[in-house]
Amino acid sequence: MGEFDLIARYFNRPTRRAALGPGDDCALLAPAAGQQLAVSSDMLVEGRHFLSTVDPARLGHKALAVNLSDLAACGARPLACTLALALPRVDEAWLAGFSDGLYALADAHGCELVGGDTTAGPLNVCITVFGEVPAGGAILRSGARAGDELWVSHAPGGGIGDARLALEVFRGTVALGGERFERVRRAMERPEPRVALGLALRGVASAALDVSDGLLGDLAHLLRRSGVGATVEADAVPRSAELADQPLAVQQLCTLSGGDDYELLFTAAPSARERVAAAARAAGVAAARIGRIESETGLRLVDAAQRPLERAWTSFDHFVA
């Protein structure tokens, strides 16, 4: 099967909202009047962002999910995406699974695949997403103010750090079997982007980003862009039953510098607590208050009794980790 047959068979479903879908030199998007276009691009590399053994449907899901998560963090409504794919060989079963996983999530969020590229090469998945947000209405990293409270979203009954816990199981540093492993593995391989929450937080959150490289490391980006500091209560970071059963050091590693969570970390004024709770309810997720924004720059970590904790964490960095 050649490149063009491959595209026709797996990546050429009809589009409705785009002015022009796949098949020409460019796709054409027609953003509604008064809307800005939010754009983000993420590249996934085998062995770095996913294991070679991953179910291709889950990989298709995740490749789009991590991009939709960026739209969610800005409060943008998904509109379209492009897919560039390098494949070592044409494997039809793999392509069918990958394509199904990608389209299922795309359809769930009204995010049309409008174009892209395929080539032979070491497995690499690069998706660029486009979303709409009212002009001036995007939630930025730079809006946090001293006095704001710090929140993180999570699945009801879940928490932060499960993806990292699953990775540690794959690495053999943690033992976890059966259903419990399958649950955290699902968190790693099939994250749910918090698109509905991002939309509900427009006008409520003062700043937001998505947690992809580890909670504290990502928080540091938000603090730097906002010119503020924060105190985070480590014990308040929500964790699943699977993670809560691990030694404290594993819990802290996974919750504070785990990575691959794709939850929203956001700030809001204390007066907005009820509105935050309502936004989370409306989006079908939970939100935990884990700290406060302060004018003193830097990041302070405390326990439940507000005693300072040693900051024994690092953020994920592709060129260091």
Interaction residues for a second copy, span 118-147 (CB under 8 A): 118-122, 124, 126, 128, 130-131, 133, 135, 138, 140-142
Q: Which residues between 234 and 263 bind a second copy (CB under 8 A)?
A: none
- Candidates 22-30, 156-164, 168-176, 233-241: pick the segment binding a second copy (CB under 8 A): 22-30
Two tokens at 184?
A: 């955290």
CB of 248 to a second copy, least distance (A): 28
Our finding on whether 8 is near a second copy (CB under 8 A) is no
What is the bridge-based pairing of β-strands 149-154 and 229-233? unpaired
Which residue, 74, 66, 71, 78, is CA-closest to 31? Answer: 78
Whole-number minimum distance, CB 169 to a second copy, in Å?
23
Q: How far is the CB of 50 from a second copy (least distance, A)?
A: 11
Q: Kindly state the smallest distance separating residue 260's Cβ from a second copy, in Å.
A: 13
Nearer to a second copy, 135 or 304 (CB): 135
**Which range, of 42-50, 92-100, 282-290, 295-303, touches a second copy by CB under 8 A?**
42-50
Q: How far is the CB of 77 from a second copy (least distance, A)?
A: 12
Contacts 24+ apart (CB under 8 A), 246-255: 246/165, 246/174, 250/165, 250/168, 250/174, 251/161, 252/312, 252/313, 253/161, 253/164, 253/168, 253/313, 254/160, 254/161, 254/162, 254/164, 254/165, 254/168, 255/159, 255/160, 255/161, 255/215
Terminal alpha carbon distance of the chain: 38
Of 194-223, which residues contact a second copy (CB under 8 A)?
208-210, 221
Kindly report the backbone phi and psi dihedral angles of residue 255, in degrees, each rounded to the nearest multiple of 5, phi listed first: -75, -40
The region of 44-52, 167-175, 237-245, 279-287 touching a second copy under the rule CB under 8 A is 44-52
36 binds a second copy, rule: CB under 8 A: yes
Q: Does position 26 bind a second copy by CB under 8 A?
A: yes
* Residue 82 vs 252, nearer CB to a second copy: 82
Rounded Cα distance, 105 and 129, in Å: 13
* Helix residue ranges, H only, 258-308: 273-283
- Residue 319's contacts (CB-CB under 8 Å, 6 or more residues apart) are none
Q: Which one of 45, 155, 236, 309 is in contact with a second copy (CB under 8 A)?
A: 45
Separation between Cα atoms, residue 319 and residue 321, nearest integer Å:
6
Compute the least distance from the CB of residue 143 to a second copy, in Å.
Answer: 10
Sign of the dihedral defined by the CA atoms of residues 87, 192, 76, 212, in that order: negative
Distance between CA atoms of 112 and 129, rounded to whole angstroms?
Answer: 9
Q: Which 68-97 positions form the footprint of a second copy (CB under 8 A)?
A: 70-71, 73-74, 76, 80, 82-87, 90
Could you give the string, one character per residue 281-320, with x where binding to a second copy holds by CB under 8 A and - elsewhere? Answer: ------------------------------------xxxx
List C-alpha distances in Å: 300 to 124, 251, 263, 307.
38, 18, 21, 10
Residues in the interface with a second copy (CB under 8 A) total: 72
Look up residue 121 and give its two tokens: 């090469």
- Return the number of the residue (157 or 298) whose C-beta is nearest a second copy: 298
To the nearest whole angstrom, how small is the minimum distance from the Cβ of residue 54 to a second copy?
Answer: 16
Identify the residue among 37, 104, 241, 248 touching a second copy (CB under 8 A): 37
